[in-house]
A and B are shown apart, each in its own frame.
Chain A
Amino acid sequence: MAAVAGADAAAGAGELVQRLCRFAVDEMALSGCALVLMSGAESASVLAGAGRHARTVTGLQMELGEGPCLHAYAYGIPVLLPDLSAENANRWPAFAAAALAAGVHAEFSLPLTAGPGGIGTFDLCRDRPGMLSDDHLADALVAAGIARDAVLYQQYAAGAPGPAELLATAGADRLAIHQATGMIAAQLDDTIANALARLRAAAFASGRSMYDVALDVVERRVRFDE
């Protein structure tokens, strides 16, 4: 852990959190690990990830609007789901089913807490059920703390009130979803929250991703007021 964190402070937050994710995947036999920045329940950006399931868990939660990482972020507490097929995963039935279908069997989400709200989560997942060992959980908590401080340091170093460049590029691939949400709100003369719910429902009903439906909206192939 010290070797990962202390190796090269000048490498920057992006490099550091990437290394932390890689370390976690290798050391804890994970199938995915990601550092996710969140702002409000409906916006999550994967800042760094490793493993074949790096983006799977975040992506599913954004599509479905529910899941352990959203919970960990909203309440500032870790969510440990060692077996998604077990009873306790039924807090998020849609997420659990989709994650299992994608090959994720265990998911652990640690909040990056700072102040009254956090800034995101550090997520670990496995393609087989089973709890993290105590040592691995301890390592993961330390890694989450380092990642949080690295991201906040990046924000500090940027000086301006705007996010550091690194953070600004994270999640840029989801901008179309926000644009489409604005367009749908205008078409329906409704709130942003309701427009987002409509977009999510339309994607779910058609079996497509929100991003694909959003592109149809932005490029005016689909309207919601017809």
Chain B
Amino acid sequence: MSETGAGRPAWAGDSGRGSGGDDAAREAKLARAFVRLADTLASDFDVVDFLHGLSADSVEILRAAAAGVMLADARGGLRLIASSDERMRLLELFELQGEQGPCLDAYSSGRAVQATAADSRARWPVFAPQACDAGFQLMCAVPLRVRTDVIGALNLFRGNDEPFTGAEMEIAQAMAEMAAIGLIQERAVRERNLLAAQLQAALNSRVIIEQAKGMIAEYLTMTVDDAFVVLRNYARYNNRKLSEVASDVVDRRIPSAALARPPGQHS
């Protein structure tokens, strides 16, 4: 979380808001934030770092006190992934535990929600007092959504009771959508890469098994079919994968004598 030039937290009050210089600075921050949100396909991508970045950026750009991100797990339940600070983390855990709050509403409805301190007490009678005790008044959440696909929600809280403007809500929703697009793409690419790696490994091991069969057939003077039985038996006796044993044979880490008489067949 960054601070203003006066050394005051950005969310502590916004008396100087609205000047042209501030707008330009905010636009520049927003542009940099969008670049970060688009950059999900780096080889060292980390989803927790990414969402911590979203929390920190949204706090700074939207003049919020704190932000947090929840993502849906495989069964559709929300999990807390990132928070801009410890107060927010505890509060969001409480939100999940109490099964009520802005994040849950934004996630289940797929729409942005915003409530002042008074509204929020009526709407979330268990959660709102906790948030108030933690020093938050205005509560807002936007879904992490791509078209009809909602994968989580971004919570934004303010220490005062000043609602986010229409423009600020649009920025919040756009950042959340961008994050959702990035995450969905990253998941798809990661799954595809994993499948491609599995396929390559399977095709490679098929070739290596044939090479190992040929090698054993030559060393032990037998047919390649019999060589396969030798290879398979050795893998079984030693409780190892066929492809690993084949690779060791081809690289001559297993001498042919060891293959000829597997353990348990001494007599």
Contacts and interface: CB of A to CB of B under 8 A. Distances in A.
Given A161-B201, A186-B219, A155 B211 contact: no
Nearest to B203: A39
B79 interface: no
A170 to B, nearest CB: 9
Contact of B192 (A115, A168, A180): A115
A218 B213 CA distance: 10
Contacts of A178: 207, 210-211, 214
A68 interface: no
B191 to A, nearest CB: 8
A143 interface: no
B211 A185 contact: yes
B208 to A, nearest CB: 8
Interface string A32-53: 0000011110110100000000
A45 B160 CA distance: 66
Interface in A108-126: 114-119
Nearest to B209: A178
A204 interface: no
Q: Which of A155, A156, A182 has the most CB of B within 10 A?
A: A182
A39 B215 contact: no
Interface string A151-195: 110011000011100011000000100111111111100001000
Interface size class of B (residues with CB under 8 A): 20 to 34
B198 A161 contact: yes
Nearest to A196: B211
A149 B193 CA distance: 11
Q: Which of A162, A180, A186 has the most CB of B within 10 A?
A: A186
Contacts of B191: 156
B217 A152 contact: no
A114 B191 CA distance: 10
B195 A114 contact: yes
A192 B250 contact: yes
B200 interface: yes
B217 A179 contact: yes
Contacts of B217: 179, 182-183, 218
Interface residues of A, number: 36
Contacts of B212: 182
A167 B210 contact: no
B207 A39 contact: yes
B12 interface: no
B204 A39 contact: yes
Contacts of A182: 210-218, 250
B207 A179 contact: no
B47 interface: no
A151 B199 CA distance: 9
Nearest to A185: B215
A69 to B, nearest CB: 15
B48 interface: no
Interface in A63-108: none
B236 interface: no
Given A183-B217, A185-B215, A218-B224, A119 B193 contact: no
Q: Which of B192, B211, B224 has the most CB of A within 10 A?
A: B211
B260 to A, nearest CB: 14
Contacts of A162: 202
Given A39-B207, A43-B207, A155 B195 contact: yes
A168 B214 contact: no
Interface of B: 191-204, 206-207, 210-219, 224, 250
3 tightest A-B CB contacts, nearest first? A182-B214, A115-B193, A178-B210
12 contacts: A45-B203, A115-B197, A118-B196, A156-B191, A162-B202, A163-B199, A167-B202, A175-B210, A180-B214, A182-B212, A183-B214, A186-B214
